[in-house]
Structure 1
Amino acid sequence: MDFLMELAQYGAKHFHLTLFRYVLAASVMSICAGWLFRTWMHRRRIQKRRAEWKDIRREVSFSMLTVCIFTVIGTIISLLEKMGLTKLYWQWGDYPMWWNIASLPVLILLHDAYFYWTHRGMHHPKIFKHFHRLHHLSRTPTPWTAYSFSVGEAALNGLFSPLIILMIPMHPTIWLSFVFIMIFRNAMLHTGCEFHPRNWVDGPLDNMTTTTHHDLHHQRFQGNYGFYFTWWDRWMGTEFKDYKLAFRRAVDGTLSDASQEKTADARTNLSQGGSANMPA
């Protein structure tokens, strides 16, 4: 009974934390785009099409399923920690200061690589409909799309956490910071409005993805797989060649009809259960 009570406590803690960060990030991005900066963000919309309430209801419903799956994974991590199998350390002095500072960027770099390759893999025609098709029902994503996954995709995304915690030493504060950065960036990439300044893609910051970068992926499916950074797409030749043009059009408020036509083609393919013939 003591074990079951402890298990329930772990589950409740991880459920509340996961739900809190999802609702917080999606709400903040929705409020910024739809209320606080409504006029400015309206001019920076990436697609002409608007998500409907039925889309948001579907996204929230499946995000709740993802929250439950992430809760199970979080509970497993807590059990592993109790057994002394994780690399978490609770005293900052246990590791050098340089590692305390560097561990967060290292986590982000590793997650970016993990995300790119698992994301691209889920677009393979043989597994797309089983793992990733549900997420792409959000053709015009919203911040609530962030956790709208199938069971398989949620489990695959969540697997990163125990793998890293078992292998890399980190302070729990670093891990908590990472998961909040991850969900806020996730919600931002699905907002449907471009936050970044026009010259973003003309300098060194171009190595970081933008909302347009990911929105094009939702429109066309077979490219722009990166999460934090653009370099994997560029190294692997999977970035859309007109990405920067689409970014500037979004910032300038001049949507491209050609882009909308490509979106329509991809939409037809999705309705047939395909993945836009994406090469693995």
Structure 2
Amino acid sequence: MEFLWEMAQTWGEHFRRDLFRYLIAATAVSLLVSWVFRQWMDSRRIQRRRASWKDIRREIHFSMLTLGVFATIGIITSILGDWGLLRIYRQWSDYPLWWNLISLPVLIVLHDTYFYWTHRAMHHPALFKHFHRVHHLSRTPTPWAAYSFSVGEASLMGIFSPLILALIPLHLTVWLIFIFVMIFRNAMLHAGCEFHPRSWVDGPLDIMTTTTHHDLHHQRFHGNYGFYFTWWDRWMGTEFKNYKQAFCQAVDGNFSDPHTRKRSIASNLNCG
């Protein structure tokens, strides 16, 4: 009984930490969209349709389920750490300076690769209903959809943590920064309004995704699978051909419509 009580306390601690990060990110992005920059964000809305309170309640409900799955995986991760199977470290001097500097970018690139291929796999007809259907109930997503997963998808997303911590050495601070970057980026991609500046798709930053990039995925399902970067979609031919046009429409105040094309896809591929 004492062991079970300790496990329950550990589970609760993991749940509270993940809940805190989820609430901070989703609340912050929601406030930016609906209050702080409301007029500007309304002019950059990607879809004409707006999410209802029913949609938001569903997203929060499934996000709580996801946090429960993450907490369970957190217990497993803690046990693996106690057994010495994870490569997380607390002293910067344990590894060279160059690794401490590049480990966060390396981690983000690895997570993006993991996300692209697992995300694309979940769209296979044999897997979609069991893994990814819940997330796509958010046809017009909000920041609260960041963790709106089924148990299967939550498990697939959650096991990245113990897998990567067992494979590469990471300082605890780097890992914590990565977790916050991941949830804030997730909330931004589901914001429904385009945060990124007009010049984003015309320069070197075009290798990074935008809110429009991911919003189109929610509208059309098959394509734009990337999380942080656009390169996997471009290498694999899964990026929507009129993505840049839709981005320009959003920053110019024109709603994106997946069923009609008011402009030629061949034209206006940048925002210049």
TM-score range, shorter chain: over 0.9
CA distance in 2, matches of 1:228, 1:19: 22
1:138-193 C-alpha deviation (Å, 9 max, x unpaired):
00000000000000000001111110011111111111111110000000000000
TM-score (structure 1 length as normaliser): 0.91
Q: Are 2:188 and 1:188 equivalent residues in the alignment?
A: yes
CA distance in 2, matches of 1:74, 1:105: 23
Letter in 2 for 1:104: L
What residue in structure 1 maps to residue 156 of structure 2? Answer: 156
CA-CA distance at 1:98 after TM superposition: 1.0
1:222-242 alpha-carbon deviations (Å, 9 max, x no partner): 000000000000000000000
On the 8 A contact 1:143/1:191 being kept in 2, the answer is yes
Determine the C-alpha separation between the residues in 2 that align with 1:209 and 1:233: 10
Whole-Å separation in 2 of the counterparts to 1:12 and 1:92: 30
Structure 1 runs (4+) greater than 4 angstroms displaced: none
Q: Following the alignment from structure 2 to structure 1, what is the Cα–Cα distance between the partners of residues 188 and 160?
A: 21
Aligned to 2:136: 136
**SS in structure 2 of the partner of residue 133 of structure 1:** coil
Q: In the TM superposition, what whole-angstrom CA distance separates every residue of 1:42-83 from its partner, at most 9, and x where no partner exists?
A: 000000000000000000000000000000011111111111
Worse overlay, 6-15 or 217-226: 6-15
Structure 2: distance between partners of 1:240 and 1:8: 45
Q: How many aligned residue pairs are there?
A: 261
Cα distance in 2 between the residues matched to 1:220 and 1:141? 13
- Report how far residue 8 of structure 1 moved: 2.8
Runs (5+) with no aligned partner, structure 1: 263-280
Letter of the 2:160 partner, please give it.
F
Structure 1 position 17, deviation (Å): 0.7
Residues 1:176 and 1:256: Cα distance change in structure 2 (over 3 Å): closer
Specify the SS of the correspondent of 1:198. Answer: coil
Larger mean CA deviation between 141-150 and 4-13 belongs to 4-13
Q: Which residue of 1 aligns with 2:120?
A: 120
Q: Which letter does structure 2 place at the counterpart of 1:188? A: M
Instruction: Work out whether residues 224 and 238 of structure 2, in 8 Å CA contact, stay in contact via their aligned partners in 1.
Output: yes
Deviation of residue 261 (structure 1)? 4.6
Q: CA deviation at 1:256?
A: 4.1
- 1:61 maps to which residue? 61
CA contact (8 A) 1:88 1:172 kept: yes
Deviates more, 1:38-47 or 1:6-15: 6-15
Q: Which amino acid aligns with 1:22?
A: Y
Aligned to 2:20: 20
| Kept after mapping to 2: 8 A contact 1:209/1:227 | yes
Partner of 2:30: 30
Aligned to 2:228: 228
Tell me the residue number matched to 1:75.
Answer: 75
**8 Å Cα contact 1:47-1:260 kept in structure 2:** no
AA paired with 1:55?
D
- The aligned runs of 1:39-50 (5 Å cut-off) are 39-50=39-50
Q: Percent identity among equivalent residues?
A: 70
* SS class of match (1:85): coil
Output the CA distance in 1 between the equivalents of 2:259 and 2:29.
Answer: 24
| In structure 1, C-alpha distance between the alignment counterparts of 2:144 and 2:135, rounded to whole Å | 11
CA distance in 1 between partners of 2:62 and 2:134 (Å): 9
CA contact 2:48–2:256 (8 Å) conserved in 1:
no
How many Å apart are 1:114 and its aligned residue?
0.2
d(CA) in 1 for partners of 2:52, 2:104: 37
CA RMSD of aligned residues (A): 1.2
